[in-house]
Amino acid sequence: MIQKEFPILEFDEDINAFIRPSKLIKPIEHTPEKCVLCFFSEAIEKILMEYQYKIIFNFRSEGMNFPLYELEYKGEKITLIQAAVGAPMAAGQIEELSALGCKKFIACGMCGVLQKELAVGHLIIPIAAVRDEGTSYHYVKPSREIIANENIVKIIENTLLEKKLPYIKAKTWTTDAFYRETKEKVRQRKSEGCVTVEMETSAYIAASQYNKVEFGQILCSGDSLAGEEWDKREYNKRIGIREFVLRLTLDVCLKMNGISNK
């Protein structure tokens, strides 16, 4: 490892870290490879009321518990878990779920938008992320952006086309600091082509590449940073939209077969 001016740029390719999930977590036999990470707890509750499930593992952290559900969904077993907020937790979930036996991931959640015309609930497929967070730099070499898995982007897109749902494919801005989304930073990210802002995508992609697993994501537009002032747009009260997006994501997950980590 070569010392750099800034520690975040000192990427170490050594895979032999002191703590690895494989030392803490043993694979569970027959764990479904397909996994949905969903940020909408109330939507997960609705799904669990409708489909048969069992808890096959519990991921515990200080003050938090994340059950991993094995769900019988439309004739296939897949896993479902509450997604954790922020890049470090996002990468940690990919690490630990991969160690458990999951290999094909898709996440769904809401995001901020940088374009006024994107109404609440509009679907966005991230195709790249600006790496304005710290976690991803510990998984892949420093770069300004990271590219999403093209094959999974295509699977998501084809599913939305089949269902005749409007969507866009776009670059997203991943940040660690939602209280530091200044007007100048928004202007800069928009000039780079970013349409959305969130806190996990670049870390999800980097951790997935590192663990040689597949990952894709569906974002749903929520609050807006496109005007002179922040507009919350009451996105957290749009329960119907959130449940719809989870169901859509589960349908996409079923189609994640025979894909490569490109």
What are the φ and ψ backbone dihedral angles of 88, each rounded to 5 degrees? -60, -45
Distance (Å) of CA 45 to CA 41, 70, 197, 238: 6, 14, 26, 15
Q: Which two tokens stand for residue 26?
A: 């043993």
Under a CB-based contact definition with an 8 Å cutoff, are residues 152 and 259 in contact?
Answer: yes
Domains of the chain, earliest start first:
29-254 (3.40.50.1580)
Residue 258's pLDDT is: 60
What CA–CA distance (Å, rounded) separates 238 from 6?
A: 42
**Model pTM?**
0.95
List, for residues 183-202, the tens digit of each pLDDT value: 999 999 999 999 999 999 99
Structure confidence by residue, pLDDT tens digits, 97-117 = 999 999 999 999 999 999 999
Over the range 163-200, which residues count as b (16 or more CB within 10 Å of their CB) and which as e?
Answer: eeeebebbbbbbbeeeeebeeebbeebeeeebbbbbbb
Q: What is the token pair recorded at 94?
A: 């990919």
